[in-house]
Structure 1
Amino acid sequence: MPVPVMFVSVNKTFDPAYTLAELEPWVERAWAMTVAKASACDRVVAVFDQTPVGCWRIRGVFTTEETYETTGGPRQRVGLSLGEPLPILRAYTEVPALRRGSATLALDIQPLGPERDESLIA
């Protein structure tokens, strides 16, 4: 079953010397997408020059104070609360066209499991 993945551009902010921790704030920033669409994704892939450079679990999605213009008027941008970094999979090289810096794409990959298994907690 295809899994929706969020892709975001870091073209304007990426520095090859960044660690993943230094890149995170640029991935969390406000994106032109609905909360519902972003919430359907369990991970986000940062893209520089059409190449995946980082991936994180999405823990939460929220509206920000920033807006973007649409034909229907201004809409609030979406921010991301990121979890742990994840490996960059070969499937992420199918980077979709990023409209206003972001997009989602359903890929044939395994969905992420829960962050922790409550049944294993003593």
Structure 2
Amino acid sequence: MDNSLVLYSGILLLGTFISAVSQVILKRAAQKTYPSKLAEYLNFPVIFAYTLFVATTLMCIIAYRVVPLSFGPVLESTSYLYVTIFGVLIFKERITKKKLLALALILAGIAIYATGV
């Protein structure tokens, strides 16, 4: 793997992580009550989260200049791991057996792709 592929794969992974953080910000904002429907959407956390989504989209566009299209979705599937970890740590969600199985399958898929099996 050449250095540029590693760098751009890192950009894609960072964008995926930031996207997961943005989802957490939106979920936190959705748990609050607002004085009006307009205030639900025009408040700092929501605007910031959507700004992060735009930034991650740009990061993906930049990363796909070098990252093969067949490899991108494999890296982006790590978002399920991030969201699950954030759910447990921040929102005190429980991990069910189905979630554990799903995460294990995702990790297995990443490992299989990475090893070329």
TM-score between the two structures when normalised by the length of structure 1:
0.22
Q: Specify which structure has the higher proportion of strand.
A: 1
**Greater gyration radius:** 2
TM-score, scaled relative to structure 2: 0.23
